Amino acid sequence: MDDIEVRVTEIVAQYGDLTQGSESRANEFKKTVQDFIEHGPGMPEQRRQALLRHMKGWDRKYRDFLISPN
Protein backbone atom coordinates (compact mmCIF):
# COMPACT_ATOMS: atom_id res chain seq x y z
CA MET A 1 0.00 0.00 0.00
CA ASP A 2 1.43 3.39 -0.94
CA ASP A 3 1.65 6.43 1.36
CA ILE A 4 -1.54 7.96 -0.05
CA GLU A 5 -3.63 4.84 0.60
CA VAL A 6 -2.14 4.41 4.08
CA ARG A 7 -3.11 7.96 5.08
CA VAL A 8 -6.58 7.73 3.51
CA THR A 9 -7.19 4.48 5.39
CA GLU A 10 -6.16 6.18 8.64
CA ILE A 11 -8.44 9.17 8.02
CA VAL A 12 -11.45 7.03 7.10
CA ALA A 13 -10.84 4.73 10.08
CA GLN A 14 -10.81 7.74 12.39
CA TYR A 15 -13.84 9.56 10.95
CA GLY A 16 -15.57 7.18 8.53
CA ASP A 17 -18.38 6.23 10.89
CA LEU A 18 -19.30 9.90 11.10
CA THR A 19 -22.08 10.05 8.55
CA GLN A 20 -24.21 12.41 10.58
CA GLY A 21 -23.22 13.83 13.88
CA SER A 22 -22.16 16.94 15.63
CA GLU A 23 -21.30 19.82 13.37
CA SER A 24 -17.97 20.41 15.09
CA ARG A 25 -16.89 16.78 14.50
CA ALA A 26 -17.93 16.99 10.84
CA ASN A 27 -15.94 20.20 10.46
CA GLU A 28 -12.94 18.52 12.09
CA PHE A 29 -13.26 15.68 9.55
CA LYS A 30 -13.47 18.22 6.70
CA LYS A 31 -10.36 20.04 8.00
CA THR A 32 -8.45 16.74 8.15
CA VAL A 33 -9.53 15.85 4.59
CA GLN A 34 -8.59 19.30 3.28
CA ASP A 35 -5.21 19.20 5.03
CA PHE A 36 -4.53 15.78 3.50
CA ILE A 37 -5.51 16.95 0.00
CA GLU A 38 -3.29 20.02 0.31
CA HIS A 39 -0.26 18.58 2.11
CA GLY A 40 -0.32 14.77 1.94
CA PRO A 41 1.98 12.52 -0.09
CA GLY A 42 1.74 12.43 -3.88
CA MET A 43 -0.15 14.85 -6.09
CA PRO A 44 -3.35 16.60 -4.89
CA GLU A 45 -5.55 14.90 -7.52
CA GLN A 46 -4.17 11.47 -6.52
CA ARG A 47 -5.05 12.19 -2.90
CA ARG A 48 -8.53 13.43 -3.85
CA GLN A 49 -9.23 10.33 -5.96
CA ALA A 50 -7.99 8.02 -3.19
CA LEU A 51 -10.39 9.68 -0.74
CA LEU A 52 -13.30 9.38 -3.17
CA ARG A 53 -12.59 5.65 -3.64
CA HIS A 54 -12.83 5.15 0.11
CA MET A 55 -16.02 7.22 0.30
CA LYS A 56 -17.87 5.13 -2.29
CA GLY A 57 -21.48 4.66 -1.23
CA TRP A 58 -21.47 7.71 1.05
CA ASP A 59 -24.07 10.43 0.58
CA ARG A 60 -22.97 12.60 -2.36
CA LYS A 61 -23.65 15.90 -0.57
CA TYR A 62 -21.54 14.77 2.39
CA ARG A 63 -18.66 13.70 0.11
CA ASP A 64 -18.87 17.03 -1.74
CA PHE A 65 -18.86 18.89 1.59
CA LEU A 66 -15.69 17.06 2.68
CA ILE A 67 -13.81 17.32 -0.63
CA SER A 68 -14.70 20.92 -1.58
CA PRO A 69 -12.27 23.53 -0.23
CA ASN A 70 -15.06 25.92 0.84
Structural domain of 61: 3-67
pTM of the model: 0.78
> What totals of helices (H) and strands (E) does the chain contain, helices first?
4, 0
Report the number of distinct structural domains present in the chain. Answer: 1
Q: Give the distance, in angstroms, between the CA of residue 5 and the centroid of all CA atoms in the same chain.
A: 11
Q: Is the pLDDT of residue 62 over 60?
A: yes
Q: What is the mean pLDDT of the chain?
A: 86
Q: What is the CA radius of gyration of the chain?
A: 11
Report the share of the chain in percent with pLDDT over 70. Answer: 87
